[in-house]
Amino acid sequence: MELFELTAHELHAKLDRQETSAEEIVRSVLGRISRVENSVFAFMTVNIDEAITKAKEIDEYITSGKKMTPLTGIPIAIKDNMCTRGMLTTASSKILRNYIPPYNATVVEKILQAGAIPIGKTNLDEFAMGSSTENSAYKVTKNPWNLGTVPGGSSGGSAACIAADEAILAFGSDTGGSIRQPASFCGVVGLKPTYGRVSRYGLIAFASSLDQIGPLTKDVTDAAIFLNSIAGHDPKDSTSVDLPVPDYRKSLIDDVKNLKIGVIKELLGEGIGSSVKSSILEAAELLKKLGAKVEEVSMPTLKYGVATYYLLATAEASSNLERYDGVKYGHRSSEADDLLAMYYNTRREGFGPEVKRRIMLGTYALSAGYYDAYYLKAQKVRTLIKNDFDKAFSKFDCLISPTAPSPAFKIGEKTDDPLSMYLSDIATIPINLAGIPAISIPCGFVNDLPVGLQIIGKAFSEEMLFRVAYTYEQNTEWHKRKPKL
Amino acid sequence: MLVDKIPALPAFGEACREAGLHSIIRSMKVTAKDVEHVAKLARLGLTEDEKKRFTEQLSRILDYAETINKLDTKNVSPTSHAIPMKNVFREDKFLPFEDLQEIIANAPKEDNNIFSVPRIME
């Protein structure tokens, strides 16, 4: 096995036994990037020199006998909507094409403190708005399993680089499924933590009541290790929650006996591919065989999730994206003779079609005369969806569903039809609306493309998700498959 | 067109729906004029082609969004954050930023550490 193929916990064990060095790991990963990146296109920026310098520093630190963390010397890819001080951060947009943040996102600061090595910044749908990474203003990331299909989105670069072994761990952000759906399409593990579990400080805001940062990893153990180091309260993000962070490694238990697991009926019906459906039912069957009590549960409001989301998320986005006005950073139009012309032209030139569409939709939903009918109504439906989850969790320890209605679709297949693109997030969106955590893990293949199983828990029950996901992983082989590149 | 003159009150939409006049609502969903108005609110310059495309696409998306009207929300309170939140206060304390130049370096146009913009007053 090459070093780049290993997980963070495997590399940590090797470092601990002094069988390898941070520099060897970084060089192995950079070598892999140089071989496959020109077919995957996962990265916006690769930090070649900085990563090697940092690795040498880390090796000195280790040989001086100082204490390692589980992330010491581990190369991590960072989605390009997270601020990295002194390192270009574009959100894959034209309007931030030259933005160099003067500060680090809290999660970036945390992994640096832990001794991890930022290996590069990954491609995304512009401002994380999209489900295929085709909305990047710069490049289309390819799915490593089939280069003619999308990696999912918006964290498509992060999911693809993990599947292609171009990084050991990667950061994603998830507003309506942007960690889990690409994890599903690329056959990797992706966790959206509970809203407030991880600080959003330094994450370029899309929809502030829904956005959450989380890990994309090669296995469940790595997801637990990664969450350990990024979770917790941050005074710089007043929506981060001040609750103790458990050691998530302790929840990696191969046992689901007597756990009550609900299979969501509405997410196995209309619009869900039959082969995806059978993969999920087989996963449910396996969990049952392993001792869980598996039953069907009906959640009738979930089918309204996508409609609700596209009113609320766009409304929040239209407000968050007001800051891109050409004044303090980013692009300013050269046609800026007066202030209004500067705003209009800067934003016309700087935003891509999907971002403009969402700013329009959100502004419309918030505008005088439509606020009650669209925005307020959607907020009330959000309550109903949350109530449906509360009800389900009074009976079940966790819920399962497909992560996405289909495996990865073809590049270009949905770009002309925004609504059909939006509907590919039907199973992930309700989770963001309810603020709860969910993990996607590989659970099968259809036409050589991965299928993801989504495990959903109540607020701050990440330990339950890790336990069920770990048990499933220990009893299957899907996560061991690698794409041929 | 007559429908353009009707004020965009949500109550009107509700009333039409109750009266079963779905076709009226559908045909008036988003007009080119609405698109121009909303683009102005958002300070967003659009090309003619974008205006045309958004008129059609926003109508379709809003048609879909209106499926939530099937749900009765009469006695339901709205949720803005799913996890209970309260206002967080902190001391109003001045803290110097580490390196001012890193901020100013991002300015599209600056003048002695001040962001420079087109004249806003004659």
pLDDT digits (tens, 9 = 90+) for A291-312: 999 999 999 999 999 999 999 9
Residues of chain A contacting residue B79, judged by C-beta atoms under 8 Å apart: 379-380, 382-383, 386
Q: Please give the pLDDT value at position B7.
A: 36
Mean pLDDT of B19-41: 72
A344 and B41 within 8 Å at the Cβ level: the answer is no
Task: Provide the 8-state DSSP code for A167.
Answer: -
Is pLDDT of B5 > 70? no
Structural domain for B25, as ranges: 2-70
Contact status of A36 with chain B (Cβ, < 8 Å): no
Distance separating alpha carbons of residues A11 and A69, to the nearest angstrom: 12
B30 and A376 within 8 Å at the Cβ level: the answer is no
* Region of poorest pLDDT, from A138-142, A224-228, A377-381, B92-96: B92-96
Q: In angstroms, what separates the C-alpha of A362 from chain B's closest C-alpha?
A: 9
- C-alpha A408: how far from its chain's center? 16
A380 and B54 within 8 Å at the Cβ level: the answer is no
Question: What distance, in Å, lies between the first and last C-alpha atoms of chain A?
Answer: 15
Nearest-Cα residue of chain B relative to residue A196: B83
* Beta strands A117-122; A293-297: pairing state: unpaired
Kindly state whether residue B103 falls inside one of the protein's structural domains. Answer: no
CATH code 3.90.1300.10 region(s) in chain A: 3-260+396-480
Kindly state whether residue B109 falls inside one of the protein's structural domains. Answer: no
Q: What does the pLDDT look like over A243-268, one tens digit per residue?
A: 999 999 999 999 999 999 999 999 99
Kindly state whether residue B94 falls inside one of the protein's structural domains. Answer: no
* Fold classification of A3-260+396-480 (topology level): Amidase signature (AS) enzymes (3.90.1300)
Q: Please give the pLDDT value at position B120.
A: 84
Nearest-Cα residue of chain A relative to residue B117: A327
Instruction: List the A169-174 sheet strands across, edge first.
Output: A43-46, A117-122, A75-79, A169-174, A212-217, A189-192, A438-446, A449-456, A398-402, A260-264, A293-297
Nearest-Cα residue of chain B relative to residue A345: B45
Kindly state whether residue B66 falls inside one of the protein's structural domains. Answer: yes
* Region of poorest pLDDT, from A17-21, A345-349, B57-61: B57-61
Distance separating alpha carbons of residues A480 and A107, to the nearest angstrom: 28
Q: Please give the pLDDT value at position A234.
A: 97
Percent of chain A whose pLDDT exceeds 70: 100
Beta strand spans in A241-315 (E):
260-264, 293-297
* Region of poorest pLDDT, from A25-34, A431-440, B95-104: B95-104
Is residue A188 very low, low, confident or very high in pLDDT (cuts 50, 70, 90)?
A: very high
A336 and B7 within 8 Å at the Cβ level: the answer is no
Nearest-Cα residue of chain A relative to residue B88: A238
Task: Return the active site residues of A.
Answer: 79, 154, 178
Is pLDDT of B20 > 50? no
Kindly state whether residue B101 falls inside one of the protein's structural domains. Answer: no
* Beta strands A189-192; A212-217: pairing state: antiparallel
Q: In angstroms, what separates the C-alpha of A100 from chain B's closest C-alpha?
A: 7
* Closest listed residue to residue B61, CA positions, set A205, A164, A378, A173: A378
CATH of the domain at B35: 1.10.20.60
B44 and A348 within 8 Å at the Cβ level: the answer is yes
Residues of chain A contacting residue B13, judged by C-beta atoms under 8 Å apart: 373
Contact status of A335 with chain B (Cβ, < 8 Å): no
Is residue B28 very low, low, confident or very high in pLDDT (cuts 50, 70, 90)?
A: low
ipTM of model: 0.91
* Region of poorest pLDDT, from A234-238, A368-372, A385-389, A449-453: A368-372
Residues of chain B contacting residue A331, judged by C-beta atoms under 8 Å apart: 108
Q: Please give the pLDDT value at position B121.
A: 81
Kindly state whether residue B56 falls inside one of the protein's structural domains. Answer: yes
Q: Please give the pLDDT value at position B23.
A: 40
Kindly state whether residue B48 falls inside one of the protein's structural domains. Answer: yes
- Number of independent structural domains in chain B: 1
Kindly state whether residue B43 falls inside one of the protein's structural domains. Answer: yes
Residues of chain A contacting residue B31, judged by C-beta atoms under 8 Å apart: none
Of B37, B76, B119, the CB nearest to A383: B76
A360 and B54 within 8 Å at the Cβ level: the answer is yes
